[in-house]
Structures are given as C-alpha cells and as structure tokens.
Amino acid sequence: MGRDGRETVARGVRLRGAAQAVVDDHARAVEAVRAALGPIHDAVAGRELDAIPVARLQDVTEGRLRLGSIEKSGFRTVGAVLEAGPYRLRQIPGVGQRTVDQMLAAARRISDAVHETVAVTIDVDRPEPGTTALVTALQVLVEAGPDARRAVGRATALTERLGPLLLDAKPAAGRLGMLLAGQDRRARALAAVTDIRSLVDEAERAGLPELFAQTSVDLLRGPSSDVAAWVDFELRSAEYYGVLAEISGRRPDAAAAEGFLPEEIAERVRTQQLDDSHRRVSLRGYQAFGARFALAQRKVMLGDEMGLGKTIQAIAVLAHLAAEGQTHFMVVCPASVLVNWTREIEARSALVVRVLHGPDRHHAFADWKGRGGVAVTTFEALRGFPEPGGGEVGLLVVDEAHSVKNPKAQRSRAVALWTGRCERALFMTGTPMENRVVEFRSLVRMLDAEVADSLGERNALLGSVAFRKAVAPVYLRRNQDDVLTELPSLQQTDEWEELSASDEEAYREAVRAGNFMAMRRAAYMRPEGSAKLDRLGEIVREAGENGLKTVVFSNFKDVLGVVREALAAGPAAGTPLFGPLTGSVAPARRQRIVDDFAAVPGPAVLLGQIQAAGVGLNMQAASVVVLCEPQIKPTVEHQAVARAHRMGQVRPVRVHRLLATGGVDERMVRILAEKTRLFDAYARRSAVAEATPDAVDVSDADLARRIVEEEQARLGMTGGESAASG
C-alpha cells in the first residue's frame, strides 16, 4: 500500500473537502435568502390577516364561537385576535378560558393557511431595505446559475459516498495504521482505497474539482452594489422568482402543474431523468415536468399558456437528448420567430445552431446533415428538404403548431411527413385547443393516430380537465394562474425579425435619403410583406385566444394606422380595436378610450402613440404590451410599459419589443446599451428622471447622425439628405 495509498486517501480528503465546501457555501446562500424572506413574508401574511374579519373564526369552528363581545371590544380581525394573545382576550367580559382557547386555535389555523398561501412580490419601483436584502441574497444564487445546482448535487453525492470510504481507509493514511490494524480492518482499508481512487479519478475526468472551486467562488461573491442587484432583477425577474419559489417551498398545485394528467402518466413523467449538462438555464418545477413529459411520451404537444416558457422547455429536451448522444435536431417555426429561436438556443444551451433559411438554405441543409446541430427553419423551407431517414433526427420541434392544423395544406403535409419519420416530436402552441376538437384532432393524428381516433366532441363538452385527461398521452397544458405561485411582475422579450425583401427595399430607400425617422418605420411601410407586422399579428392573435388585452405602442402615427388596418383585416378581426391615442386626441377623450378598452369583458387591442399614450394613463387592464420599434429614449419605453405594469395589475405583464436584425434597430439597441446602465437604472427611479426623461438620454440628433452614417457605410451608399430629416 505505502505512499500510493496515502496519496489516494489524501486526494479523497481534498475532494471531499471541496465538495463539502460547496454544499456549505450553498447552504449559507440559501439561508441568507430565507433570513431576508422571513420578515417580508410575515408582513404580507400579517396584512392579509388584518383584512380577514373575526367572523371567519365561526367558519373554522362550525359556528361554535360567540364573537359578539369580542367584536364590541375592538377585535374586528383575525390579525387583531392573534396580536392580543390569551391574556388580553381573557379580560373581555363574558369570555372564558375555553372560548379563548377555541378562538386562538381557530385563528392559528387561519394564520397557518395564510402563511402557506400568500406570495411575496417584489416591487421594483419601491425598493425598501427589506426587499433590497432579499434581491441581493437571491442574486448570489441566480448568478451562480445552473452550474451551482449541478455542483451541489454532485458534491452532495460525493460527500455521502466518500465519507464512509475515508473512514474505512483511515489506517492507510499513515505509516503505522496498516501495521496496527487487524486483518479485517486492513482488508476494508484496501478495498476503500481502491474505491476512493476510482471515485477521485472519475471526478477529475469530469472536471468536478474545477466545478466545485468555481461554484464556491460564485456563491461567495456578493453583488457589486444594491443598484446592480436591482438592475439584474429587472432583467431576469423570472429567474429570481423561480429561485424564490424553490427556497420558500411554495409550490403550485401539483395536479395543475402536471396538467391534470392521469396518475399513471404523471408518475412515468416524474421518474424520467433530465440531463442538464448542455443547458445554461435553470428550470422552474413545472418547466422541468414539461421537458420530462416530452421525453417520456416521445411525441407530444405542449400547449402551455403564453409566458410560461415553452421555448425553454424545448431547449431542455434538446439539451438532454444531446447529452445522450443525439446529434441532429430540427426546429420548424414561422419566419417571424426564426431569429428568436436561434438566439434563445445559443443563449440557453451549449448546442450548435444552423439556420436553414434564405437562398442558401439547401447548402445549409447539407452542412447540417454532415455536421449535426440544431437546424432552425421555416414551414415553407421544410417542404423543400428531403425527408429524413428513420432515427436520423433526434427531435423535431414544431413551434406555433396550430399553423399546421389544416391537414390538406402543403405545410401540414410536410410536417406530418417529418413527424412520421422522427422518433420524437414536440409540437408547441399557446392557443387553447379544448374547444376546437376538429382542428386539434388533425394535430394529434400526426403524433398518435390512436388517440386522435378516440377523441370526440363529447370530451370537450365535459370540460377542460376531462378533455386533457382524454388526450393526456400527447397533450400537456398549464395556465399562468395555476403554476406561477410568485408571478413575475414583468416579462420582457426582444422579438428579432429578419426584414422581408419588400422591407429591405423600403429600408434602403430611407437610408439612401439619410432619413432616420423613415429608417425606423420602414419595416411597416409595405404591409403586404412586413415581417414585423406578421409577428405583431401573431402576438395579438395568441393574446386574444387566451382572453388577454393588448396595448400596441409606436412613435409614429402612420405606423399605428398601418397596424390598425392590418389587425382589423386579419388577426384581430372581430376583436374590439381602440385608438390610436395620439397627441391630437384631447386628454379627456384619451381617458374615455382607455376606460372603454378596460370595460370590454374579453380580449381587446388599444393602439397608442408612445409619447401621448405612454404618460399619464393607467392601462392595467392590459397584460400584453407590444413596442413596434425601439425608442431613442429608454425612459420613454419604461414609462409606456409602466402604464400597464402598475398597481392594480393582477396578471404578469408580457412586453414584446419588435426589432429588425442588421439595421437601425440593432444599432439603436447596441448604442443605447453602451451607456452606463447602472446610472440609468438609478436615475429611472428618481422623480426627476420620471418627469424629465431627457436628463439621462443621449442626444436625438447625435444618435440619428451616427446611425445614418454607419448604415450608409454598411450598405455602400454615399451620404444623402440630413440625418435629422423625416
């Protein structure tokens, strides 16, 4: 044994020490969140209890309590009863000890229920010391990311395995140990050293010592400042709320989170492993379940309500299959979201993306066939590609799957052909399908003909839960209210679109003229081929089909006119359209329009010029906001979004900013991001900044001139008219 054994034991001790350090560092970070969360949670629960009338104690005791004298003595809420305690309650005339005991027991039952159900929401507009402490504590875990979760899991398993082995191997750690140990003890020590060597070698091959060291550094590194933590929270609120839900133990209703699946299917899904080694984003519990569902059931449709992260769930499935050795994947989507898919996969995973679009798509297809990766293409392009061989494609993802509900359409036939040739398929749609059995059946038939044949109108008539049970082998849908226990208050998405040929032509004309404002609105000036307009229509349609109201903002009156005509003729046909609200509309009239918009019981669309409608009006009836183009002043965007995202908003607000790649939008976003974002974030929260957005924004003229010159150079044009024209 000798030196080799001692060195092996020493390596095991060092590895176990590093693993235990990660576990301890993570535990301290979690405890810091709990310590900050506790007082806030208690305060929220206290306010809730102070709003519950004392009469509710009758419900808990089935009417056995007499509360007249209690209320007359000033104890009108459950919170007041709990605060009073037994001594003060006993002083009330006519109230005996038995009544006090029963009353307090009932109050505590209500208190326990309130503490279990109330959710802590973080108000980014009113940071307080308590919420700041919570956000900074959460940032440590959010910044550490999925690698920390992976490291803690591996570290926990290693410490559990190495602990007993190191104890058995103790005699081998010193020169005299083996000599003094008995025969059985020596045999156990030798066996333990062999096992330790194997474990340590395996850990080093997997890079675990480096992972543990980096994770410990990440968990011990605090935020650079409170402001930095708040800025990060604004950018990644969903991730913060996900960590908060996990630590607080507040889980959504299990049946709702699992889409009311039958127990036998739900159990099979729960036991499905989910490898995260190729993934760069953490999943919420319902998202992990959705990914496992797709893996366990092989060919499925994910119908989660918009805003629940269907794309992230699809990426989790792709990452898992890549970790298992699959090399080729295909994502099919509308052209309007092709760029978004590309960017999301690159940002959220370690997978290679290959875009199969445009005139070179067949060359790109051949390259993908040879080298593998995630191919991202459109429905139209898919029709021109040769069908895959059996088992060649690890997963076919079909986004906006309701687009292929007509079985006679060419795009539907192409998708059906590919689905049949792939072992796994994941269809995605945010459109609720319960009341569209004929359309739904055609989609299900591509996934499972037997389920499609068994699906009848009667299933839908029995209600959504019964319908989902009937299609459980292939369909999973969850709603925001069911699964987001701490609702992210604001979700922002940049929707990157590639300009169509007509868009590009209009854009080049504006650049040649040096007309900055025309460049900004060029993507809407030829509506029949507008990529942005197509994507806006999809967002409005999906919002409407989910019963949500939408506000559409633009800086330009003519863009709003184009949008109104397009929506009225297509995606929003039959949906009430209000506005546009412009500077020429009297303030009183503007408010009446907003009130009428809010009064509509179902979906509706409100159009507004961002400078006129984005200030002074409350639009909290809307939960979807669309910005037609980026604004020169970031504060203008923040103020406009704040019209919907404010007190009284009962649902999370989803903001979509429509951006075109490669031109003025991309340059504006990049240039504005070059400014000191921490200063902007601090200034945004000041009364001065809210009143005077010009205080923290770059000059309009300087920005316009710079972008026009850069675009003219990029497109090989000489300077045209004044950059400030238009």
Q: What is the pLDDT of residues 533-557, one digit of tens each?
A: 999 999 999 999 888 899 999 999 9
Q: What is the pLDDT of residues 659-714, one digit of tens each?
A: 999 899 998 888 766 653 433 433 333 333 333 333 334 456 777 888 899 899 99
| Burial environment of residue 505 by CB neighbours within 10 A (0 to 12, 13 to 18, 19 or more) | middle
pLDDT at 531: 93
- The answer to whether residue 474 scores a pLDDT higher than 60 is yes
Sheet with 577-581, side-by-side order of all strands: 490-497, 653-660, 624-627, 550-554, 605-609, 577-581
Region 26-52: what's the mean pLDDT?
93
- The answer to whether residue 460 scores a pLDDT higher than 70 is no
251-483 falls under which CATH superfamily? Tandem AAA-ATPase domain (3.40.50.10810)
Would residue 415 be called left, alpha or beta, if left means φ above 0 and alpha means ψ between -120 and 50 degrees? Answer: alpha
Residue scoring higher pLDDT (119 or 176): 119
Which of 397, 227, 211 shows the shortest CA–CA distance to 314? Answer: 397
Mean pLDDT is lowest, of 120-134, 278-292, 626-640, for: 626-640
pLDDT at 55: 82
Q: What is the pLDDT of residues 394-411, one digit of tens each?
A: 999 999 898 898 999 999
pLDDT at 426: 98
pLDDT at 592: 83
Region 120-136: what's the mean pLDDT?
86
- The answer to whether residue 649 scores a pLDDT higher than 60 is no
Position 119 confidence tier, pLDDT thresholds 50, 70, 90 = confident
The span from the CA of 487 to the CA of 290, in Å, is: 19
Region 99-128: what's the mean pLDDT?
84
Region 453-465: what's the mean pLDDT?
62
Which of 562, 552, 572, 567 shows the shortest CA–CA distance to 524? Answer: 562
Q: Which spans in 298-378 are helix H?
A: 310-323, 338-348, 361-371
Which of 395, 416, 387 shows the shortest CA–CA distance to 404? Answer: 416
Would residue 499 be called left, alpha or beta, if left means φ above 0 and alpha means ψ between -120 and 50 degrees? Answer: beta
Residue scoring higher pLDDT (701 or 462): 701
- The answer to whether residue 482 scores a pLDDT higher than 80 is no
Q: Which H or E element spans position 441?
A: helix 437-447
- The answer to whether residue 200 scores a pLDDT higher than 90 is yes
Q: What is the pLDDT of residues 235-263, one digit of tens each?
A: 777 788 888 888 887 666 778 888 888 99
pLDDT at 688: 33
Cα angle: 135, vertex 140, 144; to 5 degrees: 135
- The answer to whether residue 31 scores a pLDDT higher than 60 is yes
Cβ contact 16:166 at 8 Å? yes
The structure's pTM equals 0.65
pLDDT at 123: 78
Position 457 confidence tier, pLDDT thresholds 50, 70, 90 = low
Position 384 confidence tier, pLDDT thresholds 50, 70, 90 = very high
E strands, 432-489, are 475-476
Which of 690, 625, 614 shows the shortest CA–CA distance to 652? Answer: 625
pLDDT at 694: 38
- The answer to whether residue 599 scores a pLDDT higher than 90 is no
| Burial environment of residue 452 by CB neighbours within 10 A (0 to 12, 13 to 18, 19 or more) | middle
pLDDT at 651: 61
Cβ contact 448:437 at 8 Å? no
Peptide bond into 580 cis (omega under 30): yes
HEC string for 158-213: HHHHHHHHHHHCHHHHCCCHHHHCCHHHHHHHHHHHHHHHHHHHHHHHCCHHHHHH
Can you tell me whether residue 225 is helix, strand or coil? coil
Residue 545, token pair as written in the block: 């089909």
490-714 falls under which CATH superfamily? P-loop containing nucleotide triphosphate hydrolases (3.40.50.300)
E strands, 401-474, are 425-428
HEC string for 303-316: CCCCCCCHHHHHHH
Peptide bond into 359 cis (omega under 30): no
Measured CA to CA in angstroms, residue 341 lies from 45, 397, 524, 610 at distances of 41, 11, 23, 28
pLDDT at 685: 34
Residue 674, token pair as written in the block: 């070059």
Strand partners, 300: 426
Position 176 confidence tier, pLDDT thresholds 50, 70, 90 = low
The mean predicted confidence, pLDDT, of the chain is: 84
Region 646-662: what's the mean pLDDT?
74
pLDDT at 233: 84
The span from the CA of 106 to the CA of 573, in Å, is: 53
Q: What is the pLDDT of residues 341-370, one digit of tens each?
A: 998 999 899 999 999 998 999 999 999 999
Other CB atoms within 10 Å distance of the CB of residue 226: 16
pLDDT at 273: 95
pLDDT at 676: 36
Secondary structure tally for the chain: helices H, strands E: 35, 13
The span from the CA of 404 to the CA of 585, in Å, is: 42
pLDDT at 252: 66
Residue 250, token pair as written in the block: 């507040």
pLDDT at 433: 59
Residue 6, token pair as written in the block: 């001692």
Residue 97, token pair as written in the block: 């000890």
pLDDT at 691: 37
Mean pLDDT is lowest, of 7-21, 172-186, 363-377, 617-631, for: 172-186
Within the chain, all domains assigned CATH 3.40.50.300 are found at: 490-714
Position 339 confidence tier, pLDDT thresholds 50, 70, 90 = confident
pLDDT at 14: 94
The single-letter DSSP state of residue 76 is -
Mean pLDDT is lowest, of 136-140, 212-216, 384-388, 683-687, for: 683-687
Cα within 13 Å of Cα(403), Cβ side: 22
Measured in degrees and rounded to the nearest 5, phi and psi for residue 207 equal 75, 25
pLDDT at 619: 60
- The answer to whether residue 126 scores a pLDDT higher than 80 is no
- The answer to whether residue 459 scores a pLDDT higher than 70 is no
Position 125 confidence tier, pLDDT thresholds 50, 70, 90 = low
Residue 560, token pair as written in the block: 């709003």
The span from the CA of 277 to the CA of 206, in Å, is: 11
Q: How far apart are the first and last CA of the chain?
A: 85
Dihedral of the alpha carbons of 338, 536, 654, 339, in degrees to the nearest 10: 10
Residue 327, token pair as written in the block: 């090399």
- The answer to whether residue 300 scores a pLDDT higher than 80 is yes
The single-letter DSSP state of residue 92 is S
The span from the CA of 273 to the CA of 508, in Å, is: 51
Region 109-128: what's the mean pLDDT?
83
Can you tell me whether residue 82 is helix, strand or coil? helix
Region 73-101: what's the mean pLDDT?
88
Within the chain, all domains assigned CATH 3.40.50.10810 are found at: 251-483
pLDDT at 631: 85
